[in-house]
Structure 1
Amino acid sequence: MNFLGRLRDAARQFKVAIHGYVLMTNHIHLLATPSDVEGLARMMQWVGRHYVPYFNQKYAREGTLWQGRYRATVIDSERYFMLCSCYIDQNPVRAGITSTPGEYPWSSYLHHVGVKPDPLVTDHALYWALGNTPFDREAAYKEMAEQALTSTEAKQLMDATNKGWPLGSEMFKAKLEKQGSARVRPARRGRPFKARPESAEAVAVPATKK
């Protein structure tokens, strides 16, 4: 079974809704909502345990496949969910691999625009809010995804995912900080922070492949 098939099995087993994804040559991005605190970590661990041995055997290699622990950040869904989704689907274009997101088969873009339904993807309520019919939603998403993010927006998303900081308004960050459920500022030395997914609807997860 390929990587996406194993990811789909793990997402179902640990009750993680995956709303968007892209597989790149040296990393992946996921946009997901775990149903509990441990779901996301367990899903990623399960995929590593079951996919890496298969990959190593198929390509006659040894050792780990992923470089370090995955990184995750909590996002303010109302403000940033669609932006994150478009950012993920635009990855191949930003990388210069394709000229449009629709030319790349290993992302959630084709699902979002109605070209190819993807069993891995669970549509988020904010995606459904784009229109009253599938055609309206798909057309609205396509229009958004074809607009390149500004350099400021892209930097915001990259900084948040790379550093594990929440992505949202100051009010959103203050709420998380008060709850003690998210790292809002640079962390002190020590064990990595574990985000509480119930404090926001979505989590963006990048992982790096060796």
Structure 2
Amino acid sequence: MRKRLQEGVFHVYNISNYRTTIFLKPEDNIRFLECINNSAITHNTKILEFCLMPNHFHLQVESCSLSEFMRRALMDFSRYYNKSYQIHGKQFTKPFESAPKRNLNFIIENCFYILNNPVVAGICSKPNQYQWNSFSFHHNGKTDLSKHILVDTSALDMCYKDEKSLLSAIADYKMPVVDHRFTRDSTNPRITNPELISIIGKILDGRSIYDLDKTSIKKLILFLNQYTNATFKQIAMNVHEEYSFVRKVCGTDFSKYQISKDMTF
């Protein structure tokens, strides 16, 4: 097994067991943020961005002991959750997933991705309309969430002078789709996340990805695997499913679901 990197800037994410809604009430979101914040203080970690979705979360952090930071945060949240709902066990499928971001361009692009998650999912039309992400922390914004978590927004704030320019940059991140990328051809360059997000947005046509039933999710995964050059990891991140689940679905016989370029979901 490959050893997880511990020091640097990371995109950290995880999904709930059985992909069910885990943040059932505002108190759950707040307690999760508090658990993240308390562990960050203990383990010398900066929170750069966050987004809590109904059944998963995204963080961008700068840490020197990533595993210890996340272990403490998730353990504390699990204690709270099990006591609140009188249940037992873990709330998330794995300890967590992480991807290092090695330069400023990758860091900024991933900030856009995290902040834009609820827009892609069809929950809102702009990232500043979503209550449970870190957009409101930018440019010394006043937010009630600052009582529960400290966020270092300096990376984006240095590049974008105000909320309007930041919103514009995030909107521009959703680049138009180039038709040739609908052909799965190794001679074509790998599809970018903005292009994949745009494809998914057109397919959903204003719906939330959470409106799709399990069969439709599988069809969407198979469609993206068949007609784009997206990796399994890209598909997993953008349809909010586990990497292992996407790999399993992509091993399915395509004829079972009648996947075609002009299909509807």
Normalized per residue, which structure has more helix? 2
Structure 1 unaligned blocks of 5 or more:
164-210
Using the size of structure 1 for normalisation, the TM-score is: 0.65
The offset of 1:160, in angstroms, is 6.6
Give the aligned residue type for 2:50: Y
- The question of whether the paired residues in 1 share the 8 Å contact of 2:35 and 2:73 is answered with yes
The offset of 1:75, in angstroms, is 1.4
| Whole-Å separation in 2 of the counterparts to 1:17 and 1:161 | 28
Structure 1 residues 24 and 17, CA, compared in 2 at 3 Å: closer, same or farther?
same
- The question of whether the paired residues in 1 share the 8 Å contact of 2:71 and 2:95 is answered with no
Structure 1 residues 128 and 97, CA, compared in 2 at 3 Å: closer, same or farther?
closer
Structure 1 residues 16 and 157, CA, compared in 2 at 3 Å: closer, same or farther?
farther
Structure 1 residues 100 and 158, CA, compared in 2 at 3 Å: closer, same or farther?
farther
2:192 is aligned to 152
Structure 1 residues 127 and 99, CA, compared in 2 at 3 Å: closer, same or farther?
closer
**1:143 paired residue among 168, 185, 188:** 168
1:45 is aligned to 71
| Whole-Å separation in 2 of the counterparts to 1:158 and 1:129 | 33
Cα-to-partner distance string for 1:10-61 (whole Å, 9 max, x where unaligned): 0111011110010011111111111x2xx11111100122110111111122
Using the size of structure 2 for normalisation, the TM-score is: 0.52
Give the aligned residue type for 2:94: G
The question of 1:97 aligning with 2:123 is answered: yes
The offset of 1:123, in angstroms, is 2.4
Aligned identity (percent) is 23
Cα-to-partner distance string for 1:101-160 (whole Å, 9 max, x where unaligned): 122110011112554353421123x324225xxxx2434322212334236234589837
Structure 2 unaligned blocks of 5 or more:
1-29, 176-190, 197-229, 238-265
**1:23 paired residue among 48, 52, 58:** 52
The offset of 1:80, in angstroms, is 1.4
User: Number of paired residues?
Assistant: 155
| Whole-Å separation in 2 of the counterparts to 1:24 and 1:15 | 25
1:174 is aligned to none
2:152 is aligned to 122
- The question of whether the paired residues in 1 share the 8 Å contact of 2:35 and 2:74 is answered with no
- The question of whether the paired residues in 2 share the 8 Å contact of 1:4 and 1:120 is answered with no
Instruction: Give the alignment's Cα RMSD to 1 decimal.
Output: 2.7
1:186 is aligned to none
